[in-house]
Amino acid sequence: MALTYNNKNVVSTVECYDAWSNTYDSDGNVLQLLDDIVFEEIAQPRLNSIHNSNMRQICCELGCGTGRNTVKLLNAGWFV
């Protein structure tokens, strides 16, 4: 719900993020591309080097977003 402050419409942070989340992963944000590159070239190889498929591997992903990296970790066999 938008409020008015000093003759300007003000929208809560939660409302803004809720609206943005609908297009967050598909709006062409260059930071998403950078995130994918970093994950594939740095994080994934490091995680693969310590992953032991005979044991439950736990990874705490502290990102903020829609869960794109969480899905990548789950697909790689990690318990997130």
C-alpha atoms less than 13 angstroms from C-alpha of 13 in its C-beta half-sphere: 0
Tell me the pTM. Answer: 0.60
Residue ranges in 4-67 assigned as alpha helix (H): 13-20, 30-38, 44-50
State residue 2's pLDDT score. 65
Which pLDDT band holds residue 41 (cuts at 50, 70, 90)?
A: very high
pLDDT over 70 percentage in the chain: 96
In a domain, 12, yes or no: yes
Tell me the C-alpha distance between 73 and 63, whole Å: 12
pLDDT over 90 percentage in the chain: 1
In a domain, 68, yes or no: yes
Domain containing residue 51: 3-75
54 versus 8: the higher-pLDDT residue is 8
In a domain, 65, yes or no: yes
79 versus 53: the higher-pLDDT residue is 79
In a domain, 28, yes or no: yes
Q: How many domains are contained in the chain?
A: 1
